[in-house]
Amino acid sequence: MVQKRTIRDHKKKHKRKNRKVRIIGFLLGAVFCLAGFWDGAVYSSAAGTAADVLTVAASQIGYHEKATEEYLDDFTANSGTANFTKYARDLGVANGQPWCGYFVWWCMRTAGVPDDRHPCVGYVTKDWFVDRGLWHDRGTYVPKPGDYIAFGNPLHHCGIVESVLGDRVYTLEGNSSDVVKRRDYGLTEDRIAGYGTINYTGASPVVTSPTAPPPAATKAPAIPSTDNSNPGAPYPIPDGILGSGSAGDAVKWVQVCLNELMDAGITVDGIYGNQTVTAVKAFQKKHGLTPDGMVGTKTCNKMLDLWRKNGASNSAKQTGKGNSSGNDQSVPSVSKVSKFRAVAKRKGFLLRWKKKTSVSGYQMQLSTKINFKSAKTYRVGKAKAKYTVSSLKNRKKYYIRIRAYRTYQNSKGKSKKAYGTYVTIHKKTK
């Protein structure tokens, strides 16, 4: 009886041991099958096409960088501005670094694109593509879905081209205001440095003549111009339809007119951006035109009519809001503010700049948006060389810009302001 109990106990013990072995084996198999990591590399069963990369990138929209190395896999938990992300962790590189390049690298590798077909770096690169004959400067090439896009001069940001519609390019970007975002830009915007082609197929790239982007303006009937009928002189009256993404002297003409006729406060930089679109829509709505934000024959003629009814002609070159009026030829010039910097404080900034002579004061704008949408505006007197901004959000990136202005009397005795060009910086609060 004792012997039978001993045999039965031994069989139960052996059965329990086998069950443990099977459970451990199952768990190990699950880890290796699901985790997808080995020797610090990320592996994927994706085919490595541009469509695969865009699917991976789009799935990350809304991911926010972390304050510490905790909750790296959660999209919003532990959100902060310390540059900690799952992308750097998964790639096996140093965390807590600017991560737009890591995001592109991570998307490429996760989608199954071999490492030798895309840059495996955290910084923004042009050289990698130039060395392989795969770089295209802005304006010489129509980008394709899956292309690498680089921004700035010097380079400071990158992303992935998602699509091109008309004269706008849509992108997926990491570290865009600390988050993975979908963005869009005009194809001719100066902020775009160029594009890098990713060789997704593995075949040798076919070198062809660069393809020019679609024209920024559709031709419309030309509007005659004489010396006394051009309110935006020395810039030419537009002879085409202008809209978002357009650039050049014709856009400067529109900006000068909007500043004079509506006191719009637009920097005359020749770039048809969000500020210009908004001002054009406001002008069109005010004067009974279709508010489409585009300047064609009707909008241009209305600007000319209003100018002539006010008795104004042959304006001097304007560099900011309300710089010219009537027949006044003595609009003062205003140079840029120098040594503009921001010292981060808790929920604010201490702004400093070099005091200028012969100015009436300074105008500053602050926004969390790079296009300064819904910006807060501040004015300080000419004697100031610093200004404290408070009541902001903690650990939040802000875009800040400043310009000087001079007050003068136009030919009709009206007080006007001549503005210099904005100087823009960005900084995070503490």
pLDDT of 139-192, one tens digit each? Answer: 898 899 999 999 998 889 999 999 888 889 999 999 998 999 999 999 999 999
Identify whether residues 54 and 31 lie together within a single domain: no
Instruction: Single out the residue of 260, 278, 120, 97 nearest to residue 175, CA to CA.
Output: 97
CA dist 33 and 151 (Å) reads 38
Phi, psi of 126 (to 5 degrees): -115, -35
**Do residues 182 and 77 share a domain?**
yes
Is residue 404 in some structural domain?
Answer: yes
Q: What whole-number percentage of the chain has pLDDT above 90? A: 32
Is the pLDDT assigned to residue 62 strictly greater than 60? yes
Say whether both 160 and 65 belong to one domain. yes
Specify the pLDDT at position 143: 92
Please, which pLDDT band fits residue 408 given cuts at 50, 70 and 90? confident
Whether residue 185 contacts residue 168, with contact meaning beta carbons closer than 8 Å, is answered with yes
Q: What is the band of 400 on the pLDDT scale with cuts at 50, 70, 90? A: very high
Q: How many domains does the chain have?
A: 4
Question: If you average pLDDT over residues 98-105, what whole number do you get?
Answer: 94
Tell me which residue range forms the domain holding 132: 50-196
For the chain, the maximum distance between any two Cα atoms, rounded to a whole number of angstroms, is 123
User: Dihedral of the CA atoms 97, 100, 106, 109 (nearest 10)?
Assistant: -130
Residues 291 and 357 in one domain: no
Whether residue 74 sits in one domain with residue 136: yes
Last residue of a domain, one of 309, 332, 353: 309
- Evaluate whether residue 320 is within a structural domain: no
Is 206 a domain residue? no
Please tell me whether residues 97 and 10 are part of one structural domain: no
329 domain residue, yes or no: no
Identify whether residues 263 and 229 lie together within a single domain: yes
Identify whether residues 57 and 28 lie together within a single domain: no
Residue 335, domain member (yes or no): no
- Do 59 and 176 belong together in one domain? yes
